[in-house]
Structure 1
Amino acid sequence: MITRSQNNITKPRNPTDDTILYPIPRALLAAVDSAIIEPTCYTTVVKVPEWRTAMNLEFDALLKNHTWSLVPQSQARNLVGCKWVFRIKRHVDGSVERYKARQIDIHNAFLHGTLSEDVFMSQPPGFTHPQFPTHVCKLQKAIYGLKQAPRAWFSKLSSRLLQLGFCGSRSDSSLFILKHDSFTMYVLIYVDDIIITCSKAMAIDDLLHQLSSDFAMKDLGKLNFFLGIEVLENATGVILSQQHYILDILKRTNMQDAKPVSSPIASSTSLTAYEGPSFPDHTLYRSTVGALQYLSLTRPDIAFAINKLSQFMHAPTLLH
């Protein structure tokens, strides 16, 4: 075994200063209270008042949106199954924000997409219509879990932005730009998470007002958390941090008590394929390297080491 001292790795100095997927948004990757876990079984969830309330809210939103109509099962072709998917929405610090079936910038975003084909699905567990228990749902709108749902939603939102005068970026299809004599506005879309930035605050308010006539929206206010990245402002600019994402990686790899080092890899280290005993869990290795690649967005100092380790995804060893 090669020790850290032999590898010229030192400890850093301390700083001085139907299928119906009714998913709750993906839990933000953060250090979490291990006592509060995401359930996977409907029969267990239905006994918990908070989850039952979340399901009721989501089901009511689906009905309000006229997502489906009940039809006899004889009309159904290629019936799609149905299940609930449960996630916990959390604060930036990892604590539970609340049990919610969906909480996003635009409420129930995928339900706004329009389908161009007939899709039938079974009624959701726990919400079978008492008068029509054998009927199935004929979808009028897109719904979570359908392969075409993300595209249908993006088409709906992007069409509306183009109507408002935005132009799509040539370099990024998720970026829309509005140029005006007195300001320039940028809208960045990642599925149903949206960032709006502009030099004129009133212009943002006007855009939100126009979009709210088409979509049920929630203004989350000042940007402070996006896709697992914390956004912190100070006197000199903006800091992007993934502290809680790091803590989650450490927890998943059982390295909470590992000692920190000043460099992710020693300059003298030479890694080769098939060197050393095989790593027992190839899936864990690959998922960890993938998570660290995302972390390198805000920690470029680890990029070289992670890119090096990604060369051995097919056959990782204990040395890797």
Structure 2
Amino acid sequence: MDVKSAFLHGVINEVVYVNKPPGFEDPLHRDQVYKLDKALYGLHQAPQAWYETLSTHLLNNGFIRGVINCTLFIQEKDGDLLLVQVYVDDIVFGSTNDVLCKSFEKVMKDKFEMSSMEEMKFFLGLQVDQLFDDVKLVSQNAVKSE
């Protein structure tokens, strides 16, 4: 799953000013700048601001953060597990119970605009083949014939 415009959801906790972009300059006030209220793509604080927004949302919805991997979020309900792995704005999730997966999709759609909510075919350059009781990762680029 992919969060659309993820970095724009981030809230920055410091005062940041940016120059006016080309075409928006005021010839009478060339020294004026814009104060940002939220994160913006290209801002070095944007990835961290997005992560804080997402992790707060997940923690507020019953997830716990992984101890070793802080981009892994875990939810346990009635003996079933839901695992959510975040890589910037890409999210991979799986569960021992389909109901937990549907619930997670709703939790995410309620707050963020989402895309790619179907079965995963590719992730981080790897082809993902999912069978009933098996998952196969294929990296064609890693294997070259000579």
TM-score category of the 2 structures, normalised to the smaller one: 0.7 to 0.9
The normalised TM-score by structure 2 is 0.84
Give 1:203 shift.
Answer: 1.8
Any idea what SS the aligned residue of 2:51 has? helix
Structure 1 residue 121 and structure 2 residue 18: aligned?
yes
Q: Which amino acid aligns with 2:123?
A: F
Between the two proteins, the alignment pairs up a number of residues equal to: 143
Moved over 6 A (4+): none
Q: Which amino acid aligns with 1:203?
A: L
Aligned to 1:148: 45
- Which one has a larger percent strand, Structure 1 or Structure 2? 2
User: How far off its partner does 1:173 sit?
Assistant: 0.9
For residue 55 of structure 1, what is the aligned residue in structure 2? none
Cα offset for 1:236? 6.3
* Larger RCO, structures 1/2 (Cα 8 Å, 6+ apart): 2
1:123 Cα deviation (Å)? 3.5
* 1:163 and 2:74 correspond: no
1:182, CA displacement in angstroms?
4.7
SS at match of 2:99: helix
Between 1:188-197 and 1:208-217, the stretch displaced more is 208-217
Q: Which amino acid aligns with 2:139?
A: Q
Report the CA distance shift for 1:227/1:150 in structure 2 as closer, same or farther (over 3 A): same
Matched residues in 2 for 1:214 and 1:236: separation?
Answer: 32
The answer to whether 1:190 aligns with 2:95 is: no
Q: Give the structure with higher Rg (CA).
A: 1
Instruction: Give, in angstroms, the shift of residue 139 of structure 1.
Output: 1.2
Measured against aligned partners, the alpha-carbon deviations of 1:226-262 in whole angstroms (never above 9, x if no partner) come to 111111134662211111x348xx8xxxxxxxx62xx
Post-superposition offset of 1:220: 3.2
> Over aligned residue pairs, what C-alpha RMSD do you find?
2.4
Partner of 2:71: 174
Gaps of 5+ in 2: none
Residue 4 of structure 2 is matched in structure 1 by 107
